[in-house]
Structures are given as structure tokens and as C-alpha cells.
Amino acid sequence: MSKKITRREMLKLTGMTAAGVAIGASGFGGVAKALGYNLMPVDDNLLAANKVMFYGKHQSGIATPVQKHVYFASLEVLASTKEELQDLFKLWTPLSVRLMNGEDIGDSTTNAYVPPTDTGETNGLDASNLSLTFGVGPSLFEKKELGLAHLKPSELKELPHFPKDQLDEAFCGGDLCIQACADDPQVAFHAVRNLIRQASGKVLLKWTQTGFNALPANGGTPRNLFSFKDGTVNPSTPTDFDRTVWVDSGKSWMTNGTYLIVRRIQMHLETWDRTSLKDQEAAFGRHRDSGAPIGKTNEFDEVDLTAVDKNNKLLIPEDSHVFLAKKANKTILRRAFSYSSGIVSATGAYDAGLLFISFQKDPKSFIDIQNSLGRLDRLNEYITHRGSAIFACFPGVAKGSYIGEALFTTL
């Protein structure tokens, strides 16, 4: 009887048989050449329309002005040695520069008898402000064959179970992540598709999620699918980012990096749409149209948890989302996107909600906020947390270096 081969085993086999000799000889550049690909040199100074710079002190896609679309991918690592993983990031670096330049990743016209180097679906499109952000998850450091356990930051551990969590393993965890944000959804998808394709046999998609933002034409805070502004209280100055986002202690390879937390939050739109505006605003603790705290006029007015009405009743309810979040006294960078992924087959309800993404120098800030919300948050009636993951995002890349270099050169 023949043995059944799993998808993971098949990918490992094909990754080795297609170009196994070239890997040992010259890394992933050799793999590409062995397959007939011509990865063109990168022009670091290319002037492109709607371009975000790849190189810098910090990775793009964090402090970058939020774009209209996201394609978030969580990956399983199939590489069996630290050197193979290092070669992967070396390969992805020039490809990421080209993608963020709005260019194809290579020229395939030299050999018509092999698949094109670039999949081609963004031909005729510009860079669309594409940003790429790479991170590593706790599970990567648990792979003994990679020998990275001693480099795992103490802060990088799976998030605890929170009240009201109903997590689906299909949307949890991952060894690596790629966050691709762009003003065109096809540009974001194309970037992840081509990076994964070039890494065939070394990584496997674990889960993905698309998302979108309705950015106001005149600027301002986008609204979520509950119609409330999402991301009003965010760090905005370099000092704010230094205090709340960028890592400045712990493992040296994380300096100027940050921690990414992603939560897939289903919104029960049918229930919400039957709720009065007064109760909707009481659940958030803000006015829907203006985004102002209840009792205030403007979105960015200070939240006053002690303000009362003429009957000496708190204006912002104690079980409102804003009240409980403010009580935690923690600040994180929120960079969330809405999502719509069809329907929940068992109920026929919308499978739609919020792809919550936050960046913080210490995951404890998010944990403290989530614990403060706990079981009391009135929004719990309308939402369910379905997915969860945490990743350590590398610092930015200097020219001549590659993504995550410090992780591989730290003893």
C-alpha cells in the first residue's frame, strides 16, 4: 500500500527536488537562476508614483499613513536550517524593494519556456503606496532545527485567553507574517503572492485575511462597519512613537522594531442594526457622527470619565468600550481594517468585522487593555473574537543589509 503524502511533505519534497543543488551552492538567488528566472537588479533611487520607501530606521506599514487595503498573511516555515531561513530573507529584500517601487520582480522574457518570473496582474498599475511589514511569531523559535530559541524575546509569547474569546485555530498563530498594505487591493495581493511564490518549499500559507478602509476624502479617521470612527486615540508624533511603539530594550535584534498583534473580530451586524442609536453610542462611549466622547463636541476632545449629567449620572457609561479602555491607561498604535468574507454557513449571518492590528513596544499594553475590557465591555454583545496572533516585527533595513539581519548575526 502506498503511503499518503501530506501537503507539507509534498512542498518540502518539491522545494528540494526542483532546485536543491542550487540552494547549497548559492542560496535562493541560485534557485531563481536554476528555474530560469532573471531577478533584475534593484534601483534604490527609482522615482515612482505613489511610492513608500522600503529602506529606513523602521519597517514600512507601521508609521506609514494608513492605506485603503490590506492583505495579511500568516505563514508556516518549512525551512529546516537557520541558513535556509536567512537566505529566504535575503531573497525577499530586493524583491520587496522592487514591489514597493511598483515594478515587476524580474524579467522573464529571456526564456519563454518557463513560467514568467512575475505573475503580472499589476501590469499598468503604479506602486499604490504599497508597504510591506515582516514579523516572526513565537512558534518560529520553538523549531529546534533552526537554533533560534535563545534569541526569543521574553515579550514574544502567545496571547492569553481573554473573556469572550471564541477563537478558530484556522485564524490563529503563525511562524512568520507579511502585512501588505496598499491603495489598490490587487497590488497588496500581488506582493504577497509573488513573495510566497519565490519562497516555494520554504514557507506555507497558514491563514490570510483581506481588509479595507473607507478613508474620508478630506482625510480623518476611517469608520468601521458599525459606522463609528476607529483609531481616534493613536500616537501621532515621533515622541509618541518612541514612547509607545518602537522597542528600545530587550533582545538587541529587536531595537527599533515593534510587536504586532492581530485579532480577527467578527461583528454581529444583524444584531447591531436592530439596536437604537442611543444604545449604540452608549456601547462605544462616543457619538457616532462626530466621533466625540459622549457629552463633547469634537472627535479629539479629551475623554472625561467623571463627567455627569444633570441627574449626576455618568455621561460615558462605566461599561462602555471607551470608559474601560481609557481606564487601562495604556496607549497602542491601532491600524485596523474592516473585512467581509461572505457568510457564516451555519447561520447565514455576515462573516464580516474588524481585522484589528495594533503595534506596541510591549504586548502587555494590549493585554492590559483587553483585560480591562474583559466581560464588562458592552460591545461584547455585538462582537466575537475569532482569530489571534502575535509577531515580533524586525527593525527597518539599511541599504546593503536585508530583512531581519540582526536576528541571524546575533550570537
Nearest of 96, 88, 114 to residue 33 by alpha carbon: 114
Residue 411 confidence class, pLDDT cut points 50, 70, 90: confident
Whole-number pLDDT of residue 108: 59
Whole-number pLDDT of residue 15: 41
Sign for the CA dihedral angle at 55, 178, 46, 194 comes to positive
Whole-number pLDDT of residue 51: 95
Report pLDDT digits (tens) over 53-93: 999 999 999 999 999 999 999 999 999 999 999 999 999 99
Cβ count near 406 (within 10 Å): 17
- Tracing cell 505613489 back to the chain, one arrives at 50
HSE toward the beta carbon, residue 256, CA cutoff 13 A: 12
pLDDT at 172 over 90: yes
Report pLDDT digits (tens) over 317-353: 999 999 999 999 999 999 999 999 999 988 899 999 9
Beta bridge partners of 384: 266
CA dist 72 and 357 (Å) reads 10
Q: Which of 10-24, 133-147, 365-379 has the lowest mean pLDDT?
A: 10-24
Residue 198 confidence class, pLDDT cut points 50, 70, 90: very high
Residue 106 confidence class, pLDDT cut points 50, 70, 90: confident
Nearest of 67, 85, 77, 80 to residue 27 by alpha carbon: 85
* β-pairing verdict for 383-393 and 350-360: unpaired
Report pLDDT digits (tens) over 290-302: 999 999 999 999 9
Q: What is the mean pLDDT of residues 169-182?
A: 98
Whole-number pLDDT of residue 130: 98
CA dist 312 and 307 (Å) reads 9
Whole-number pLDDT of residue 350: 96
Whole-number pLDDT of residue 112: 82
Report pLDDT digits (tens) over 128-163: 999 999 999 999 999 999 999 999 999 999 999 998
More confident residue, 16 or 262: 262
Residue 41 confidence class, pLDDT cut points 50, 70, 90: low
Q: What is the mean pLDDT of residues 235-261?
A: 97
When the pLDDT of each residue in the chain is averaged and rounded to a whole number, the result is: 90
In this structure, what C-alpha cell is assigned to residue 191? 506582493
Whole-number pLDDT of residue 10: 43
Whole-number pLDDT of residue 33: 41
Give 112's DSSP letter.
Answer: T
- DSSP per-residue string spanning 270-307: HHHTTS-HHHHHHHHTB-TTT-PBTT-SSTTSPP-TT-
Give 105's DSSP letter.
Answer: S
SS3 209: strand
Sign for the CA dihedral angle at 5, 9, 15, 16 comes to negative
pLDDT at 25 over 50: no
Q: What share of the chain is helix, strand, coil (3-state, %, to 5)?
A: 30, 20, 50
Report pLDDT digits (tens) over 358-369: 999 999 999 999
CA dist 147 and 128 (Å) reads 38
Whole-number pLDDT of residue 375: 92
Give me the percent of the chain exceeding a pLDDT of 70: 88
Whole-number pLDDT of residue 60: 98
Whole-number pLDDT of residue 19: 35
Nearest of 55, 62, 72 to residue 177 by alpha carbon: 72
Question: Using a CB cutoff of 8 Å and minimum separation of 24, what contacts does 403-406 make?
Answer: 403/89, 403/92, 403/93, 403/96, 403/134, 404/89, 404/134, 404/136, 404/253, 405/89, 406/252, 406/253, 406/255
Give 328's DSSP letter.
Answer: H
Whole-number pLDDT of residue 291: 96
Whole-number pLDDT of residue 42: 64
Nearest of 219, 213, 222 to residue 181 by alpha carbon: 213
